């Protein structure tokens, strides 16, 4: 247990609508170990951001959250974040958990100098004795995230920076209180590949040097392969497969995971033949008793349409929720 930092158990999030409620996150389990980077991957609208937001209790007001989110101390004792009072949870946001939101511009106030915005969390959490100490810490973190001339940049406004620079500032804001867990929601989606690679390297470095853990949300398997130690593959609010990153790439079991992997563009491949998963993610209010992926699946069986497969273990820490994968596993073991 001592290697665990966060454990999500059977987390469900539903949005209340008049007389009904629409399930968005459907009973997910997740473990984030100390110093490890977990990737939550899936197509647009599958519930990644909702999962991350409900960890910090910043989901929409109509959301009903159930399940437990256990935060482990170094001695193995745990606190359920869902049971904490609002004030106690807010105290954790910054010093324990830092978050990079999906759209960097919405996290930055256009009217305030970026240095002062980064310093704010330090002052709120009383982690700097004086404004001068806060300023010194901000300049140090701006330098660490790769901003040149941090003394000068301290006084810049967000619009004076490039997209990549703004993304670095947002990461600096999340990191300034030295959190134990960084939640980064699509931290590089709007960036060019070179800047993306630099930001991913930066997150990796920060995890290594500070023994920080991270939950990185992305729809890009390329990002997962560069950055993550462990992967959670999400579809319509459910984890369909979870495994260490090497296993996911060498032995993907779920047809959805295979689909995501085959849609990574590769050097030398003809872009005209880039494979995509046919169809699209169903609407959230579309009800089914079976596997939500079956309409798009290449390995579907009759029972997939009316029965949801249980999660089964394939190897150590490699789990999948799919009848076809289960049959393949059974055949391999015979």
Ligand X SMILES: Nc1ncnc2c1ncn2[C@@H]1O[C@H](COP(=O)(O)OP(=O)(O)OP(=O)(O)O)[C@@H](O)[C@H]1O
| Cβ atoms of residues 47 and 237 within 8 Å | yes
**C-alpha of 194 from chain center:** 21
Minimal distance, residue 49 CB to Mg ion, in Å = 3
Q: Which is closer to Mg ion, CB of 14 or CB of 325?
A: 14
Distance CA 261, CA 275 (A): 9
Verify binding: residue 45, ligand X, rule CB under 6 A.
yes
Determine the longest span between alpha carbons in the chain, in angstroms: 68
Minimal distance, residue 13 CB to ligand X, in Å = 9
Verify binding: residue 282, ligand X, rule CB under 6 A.
no
Residue window 23-62: x/- pattern of binding to Mg ion, with contact defined by CB under 5 A: --------------------------x-------------
Distance CA 175, CA 118 (A): 9
Q: Report CA Rg, the chain.
A: 21
Minimal distance, residue 322 CB to ligand X, in Å = 20
Distance CA 226, CA 203 (A): 11
Structure letter (DSSP) for residue 243: E
Task: Kindly indicate which of the ranges 42-50, 170-178, 267-275, 292-300 contains the residues binding ligand X, using the contact rule CB under 6 A.
Answer: 42-50
Minimal distance, residue 186 CB to Mg ion, in Å = 6
Q: Which is closer to ligand X, CB of 198 or CB of 284?
A: 284
Closest alpha carbon to 318 in 216, 215, 246: 246
- Give, in order, the Cα–Cα distances in Å from 257 to each of 77, 244, 264, 276, 279: 34, 13, 11, 12, 15
Minimal distance, residue 32 CB to ligand X, in Å = 18
* Residue in 5, 8, 36, 49 binding ligand X, rule: CB under 6 A: 49
| Cβ atoms of residues 329 and 312 within 8 Å | yes
Residue window 217-256: x/- pattern of binding to ligand X, with contact defined by CB under 6 A: --x-------------------------------------
Phi, psi of 252 (to 5 degrees): -65, 135
Residue 44 site contact among Mg ion, ligand X, none (CB < 5 to 8 Å, cut-off depends on kind): ligand X
Binding site residues, ligand X, CB under 6 A: 15, 24, 42, 44-50, 60, 102, 219, 284
């Amino acid at each position: 247990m001592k290697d665990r930092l966060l454990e999500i158990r059977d987390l469900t999030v539903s949005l209340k609508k008049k007389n009904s409620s629409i399930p968005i996150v459907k009973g997910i389990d997740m473990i984030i170990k100390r110093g490890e980077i977990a990737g939550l991957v899936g197509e647009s609208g599958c519930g990644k951001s909702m999962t991350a937001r409900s960890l910090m209790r910043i989901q929409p007001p109509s959301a009903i959250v159930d399940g437990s989110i256990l935060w482990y101390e170094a001695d193995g004792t745990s606190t359920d974040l869902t049971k904490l009072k609002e004030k106690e949870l807010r105290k954790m946001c910054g010093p324990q958990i830092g978050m990079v939101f999906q759209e960097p511009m919405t996290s930055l106030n256009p009217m305030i100098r970026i240095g002062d915005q980064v310093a704010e969390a330090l002052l709120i959490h009383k982690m700097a004795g004086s404004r001068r100490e806060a300023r010194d810490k901000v300049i140090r973190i701006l330098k660490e995230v790769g901003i040149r001339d941090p003394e000068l940049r301290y006084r810049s406004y967000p619009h004076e920076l490039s997209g990549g620079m703004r993304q670095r500032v947002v990461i600096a804001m999340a990191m300034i209180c030295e959190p134990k867990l960084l939640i980064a929601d699509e931290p590089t989606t709007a960036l060019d590949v070179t800047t993306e690679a630099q930001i991913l390297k930066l997150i990796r470095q920060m995890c290594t040097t500070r023994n920080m853990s991270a939950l990185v949300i992305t729809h890009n398997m390329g990002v997962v392969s560069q950055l993550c130690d462990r992967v959670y593959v999400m579809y319509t609010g459910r984890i369909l497969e979870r495994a260490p990153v090497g296993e996911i790439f060498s032995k993907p079991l779920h047809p959805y995971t295979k689909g995501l992997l085959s849609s990574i563009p590769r050097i030398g491949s003809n872009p005209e033949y880039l494979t995509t998963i046919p169809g699209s993610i169903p609407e959230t209010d579309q009800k089914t008793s079976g596997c939500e992926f079956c309409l798009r699946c290449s390995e579907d069986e009759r029972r997939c349409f009316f029965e949801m497969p249980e999660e089964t273990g394939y190897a150590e820490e490699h789990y999948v929720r799919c009848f076809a994968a289960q049959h393949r596993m059974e055949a391999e073991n015979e």
